[in-house]
Chain A
Amino acid sequence: NAGVMQNPRHLVRRRGQEARLRCSPMKGHSHVYWYRQLPEEGLKFMVYLQKENIIDESGMPKERFSAEFPKEGPSILRIQQVVRGDSAAYFCASSPPHDSYEQYFGPGTRLTVT
């Protein structure tokens, strides 16, 4: 049973470009969470999605950031017009529908904005 998959693992973007991060949850999991991790700040929640629905986006910046989890295909975290402050590790986690307290994380995407 494959774990949570994220790609790309490393992404370099210039300021002003768009970054698209993809996450495929574990088989049988229908809940997806995105987190951002900075070295001095720890893991910060961004958004919680179920298929075709955003359940909680209280941790998402109001501008430039968006997320989706379509009926088919992976969840996508999209960052428009990236700035240097967006450089971080972005992790996706998934959980099964019957127990959403236990989350299983992917390997992360390390975004570097130059």
Chain B
Amino acid sequence: EDQVTQSPEALRLQEGESSSLNCSYTVSGLRGLFWYRQDPGKGPEFLFTLYSAGEEKEKERLKATLTKKESFLHITAPKPEDSATYLCAVASGGSYIPTFGRGTSLIVHP
């Protein structure tokens, strides 16, 4: 059974204070690792898909990286509007059904 663990559960940063969110996973045959952003009362918003170890993707202040056991979401010089819950999910084997972690709640103070 696929397992996804995200840490920390909650993170408070000052505006401009860079940091990283961690997603550790255990799967049998990774097909893809996904990052989503979820704002309160809204659906998850797709950010990135990573397919193999060593892969990196960037979008504005966010950069996602992948190793064989974990993924990091690096946030560079965050702004208050980056405050949200960030979800990590993995799909494995022949399944299109991702397993989600519980998320990291990020608050960026001005």
- Tell me whether chain A's interface is mostly helix, strand or loop, or mixed: strand
Closest B-chain residue to A59, C-beta based?
B97
What residues on B are CB-neighbors of A95 within 8 Å? Answer: 96
Closest A-chain residue to B33, C-beta based?
A101
- Whether B42 pairs with A43 at a CB distance below 8 angstroms is no
Partner of A48 from the list B36, B46, B97, B101 (CB cut-off 8 Å) is B97
For chain A, the bracket of interface size reads 20 to 34
- Whether B43 pairs with A105 at a CB distance below 8 angstroms is yes
What residues on B are CB-neighbors of A43 within 8 Å? Answer: 44, 87, 89, 100
Q: Is A53 an interface residue (CB 8 A)?
A: no
Interface residues of B in 15-50 (CB under 8 A from A): 31-32, 34, 36, 41-46, 49
- Known contacts A56-B97, A100-B96: does B102 contact A42 (CB below 8 Å)? yes
- Known contacts A31-B96, A100-B96: does B101 contact A105 (CB below 8 Å)? no
Residues of A within 8 A of B (CB): 4, 6, 31, 33, 41-45, 48, 56, 58-59, 91, 93, 95, 100-108
